[in-house]
Amino acid sequence: MAILDVIKYGHPTLRKVAEPVKPDEIDKQFLKDMLDTMLAEDGVGLAANQVNVLQRVIVVTDYEHTYTLLNPEIIAYSENMETGNEGCLSLPGLQAPVPRHEKVVVRALNENGEQVEINAKGLLAIVLQHEIDHLNGKLYIDRADLTSLQWVDNDPESGLPLNKDALLDEIQAIYHELFHQNKSSVVFESQRKE
């Protein structure tokens, strides 16, 4: 079992579009490492971009089932939107309310290269939309009202602030300090992308 490094906000790979995976190029060890990493980090989803791999691979869980999905696509969605708080392993300590389609149907390949369709609602629908966004270089903060960003970290040793409103430039400064100290090439993007 290998736990992969999760890259943090400001790393350029988070803003790149991942490439489709060919069924005959499925790397099962990598898929297992992604699952192990998501579980080790207490996440409900992880996209390959977040481990610095530009392949269209996500792992998600609704706490009942765990799914490994390649080349996932939203093929249908409800018009009805719901807004819930989201966080991201690549933006530790932060959360914000984000509007999402209440229901989605996702078509993908599973870890065996077989086509699957998932009818999702509730948490699973939110997580699928969040992770598929990652594959397109999009982060939840792009869809959130930026005045609603909040620090929610509860670990006093993390160096992250607690329970106060967050501003993007403050987030950038803190993440740069905590995670990117030796990387002068880190690119932060503060503009919402559409």
Q: At its nearest, how many Å lie between Ni ion and the CB of residue 23?
A: 26
Which range of residues in 63-71, 82-90, 145-153, 185-193 is near Ni ion by CB under 5 A?
A: 82-90
Q: Is 131 a catalytic residue?
A: yes
Residue 118's identity, in one-letter code, is I
**Residue 57 found at the interface with Ni ion (CB under 5 A):** no
Q: Give the count of residues interacting with Ni ion (CB under 5 A).
A: 1
Alpha helix stretches (DSSP H) within the chain: 28-40, 122-135, 168-179
Q: At its nearest, how many Å lie between Ni ion and the CB of residue 29?
A: 23
Q: At its nearest, how many Å lie between Ni ion and the CB of residue 139?
A: 7
Q: At its nearest, how many Å lie between Ni ion and the CB of residue 95?
A: 11
Query: Which residue among 131, 157, 189, 194 is the active-site one?
Result: 131
**Residue 35 found at the interface with Ni ion (CB under 5 A):** no
Q: How far apart are CA 127 and CA 171, in angstroms?
A: 23
Tokens 């489709």 found at:
20
Backbone angles phi, psi at 81, to 5 degrees: -110, 150
**Residue 59 found at the interface with Ni ion (CB under 5 A):** no
Number of neighbours of residue 78 by Cβ within 10 angstroms: 14
Backbone angles phi, psi at 71, to 5 degrees: 50, 45
Q: At its nearest, how many Å lie between Ni ion and the CB of residue 78?
A: 22
Cβ distance to Ni ion smaller for residue 69 or 88:
88
Cα–chain center distance at 104: 17
**Residue 88 found at the interface with Ni ion (CB under 5 A):** yes
Task: Give burial (CB, 10 Å; 0-12/13-18/19+) of 105.
Answer: middle
Cβ distance to Ni ion smaller for residue 43 or 108:
43
Look at residues 81, 99, 2, 84 and name the one whose alpha carbon lies nearest to residue 44: 84
Number of neighbours of residue 159 by Cβ within 10 angstroms: 11
Which range of residues in 1-9, 72-80, 81-89, 104-112 is near Ni ion by CB under 5 A?
A: 81-89
**Residue 174 found at the interface with Ni ion (CB under 5 A):** no
Closest CB to Ni ion: residue number? 88
Q: Which residues are catalytic?
A: 131
Applying CB under 5 A, the residues found at the interface with Ni ion are: 88
